[in-house]
Amino acid sequence: MEKRETEQCDFLFVHENVVQKVLQEMPTDETLYDLAELFKVFGDSTRIKILYALFESELCVCDIAQLLGLSQNAVSHQLRVLKNSKLVKFRRDGKSIFYALDDEHVRSIIGQGMEHLHE
């Protein structure tokens, strides 16, 4: 039977000052849960495609559906998820509704993700 190696400290010594400092800075469990939920939104390739399209330009549902080859219903559903996560915003212009990235934070997340992939 093969013995599995696990990463362990060579000796038992807790760096108490470091542990205490990290504990003081650690967000609440609720905040970390919310952060995990936000990152789950980025885990869907259709939503990423929509975000990337909006990275390039403000678009309406019809534009996004045409770009991605999806139904307007499918796009609307994903936009609702993105809007609820505060990743996209919308504005009405007559009968049309245009979507854009919510703010520079979202633009930065997409941009940094693309940079990381191309390193």
Query: What would the pLDDT profile of 30-72 be if each residue is shown by its tens digit?
Result: 999 999 999 999 999 999 999 999 999 999 999 999 999 999 9
Q: What pTM was computed for the model?
A: 0.81
Q: Could you read off the pLDDT of 13-25 as tens digits, one per residue? A: 788 899 999 999 9
Dihedral over alpha carbons 50, 56, 61, 64 (to 10 degrees): -60
Q: What domains lie within the chain, and their CATH numbers?
A: 17-117 (1.10.10.10)
Question: What is the full DSSP assignment across 9-31?
Answer: -SS----HHHHHHHHHHPPPHHH
